[in-house]
Structure 1
């Protein structure tokens, strides 16, 4: 069982508890999505879970002044470990898919806005994705590298 959200638990941990949009994405094996974020005035907190399959979920700190600016971390999310990843504002997010027909669920604090959407190239921060021949969408291939980003997120 995966319980990606429980308001009482989130509140007890001091986490955001109001979410305006949910999204479920099915992906093929070897797909890499990201690294995406949404800018001001409607930045998104994301709560990510993997209902079926297995992913390497990656976050990159893009908050100017942060001691971890430009650093990344990764987490295995799958239907067996039932982990849920809380991604605060100011972190870019993406994932690599390790199994066919993987289902990833997102809960977001603000509704998606194409005008505020941003991203950094998947290969510009040194992430070890674990996929030899990744499948990257045209949109994600055309994102800018981290070194060229003008982040409005402040630590």
Structure 2
């Protein structure tokens, strides 16, 4: 397993060791000891999975304290462009974002720590997205930001008119956001 640091502290890409042969492949998607040795000391309490057609954009979502969530995300089938935005107001990278393409072929995982907004757009039909969470979902604590916020200026690739949920269509802009982190 290889940990690849991003320009945003604590946000990392995890490249698992994949063992392939004529039968298929095997890899560890989570190993507590290895994660601890890389400084990811988290207790995962909830697993989530979604399936989406091409062009679906989910996000940018976050959970406010005391239900803040860290997420270990990966794609089991298909592909996404995954985005994380730093919402930690005392961070030198506050308001900055990073993205990575997660696919069933590259098997990369993305550790999105607590204090980040998270979202993804599906690049293929029937994309299955999986994530482990460090806290349970609480509807009263959920928050979101506009995916196309001009001050964040996120590069979502060639996506023009993504398929959005009702709440994602009306999410607030970053300029009006008061970070709880």
What CA RMSD, in Å, does the superposition of the two structures yield over aligned residues?
Answer: 1.1
Out of 1, 5, 21, the residue aligned to residue 46 of structure 2 is 21
- The match for 1:145 is 173
Tell me what 1:134 maps to.
162
Could you say which structure has the greater relative contact order, defined with CA pairs below 8 angstroms and 6 or more residues apart?
A: 1
The CA distance in 1 between the partners of 2:108 and 2:127, in whole Å, is 15
TM norm structure 1: 0.95
Q: 2:59 aligns with which of 34, 44, 68?
A: 34
Contact 1:52-1:79 within 8 A present in 2 as well: yes
Structure 1 moving runs of 4+ over 4 Å: none
Aligned to 2:5: none
> 5 Å matches for 1:1-150?
1=26, 3-124=28-149, 125-130=152-157, 131-150=159-178
CA offset digits 1:9-30 (Å, max 9, x no partner): 1111110331110001001101
The structure with the largest alpha-carbon Rg is 2
User: What TM-score, normalized by structure 2, do the two folds share?
Assistant: 0.82
Q: Does 23-32 or 124-133 show the bigger shift? A: 124-133
Given the superposition, is the C-alpha separation of residues 93 and 2 from structure 1 closer, same or farther in structure 2, using an over 3 Å criterion?
A: farther
Question: What is the count of residue pairs matched by the alignment?
Answer: 153
Q: Which runs of 5+ in 1 are unaligned?
A: none
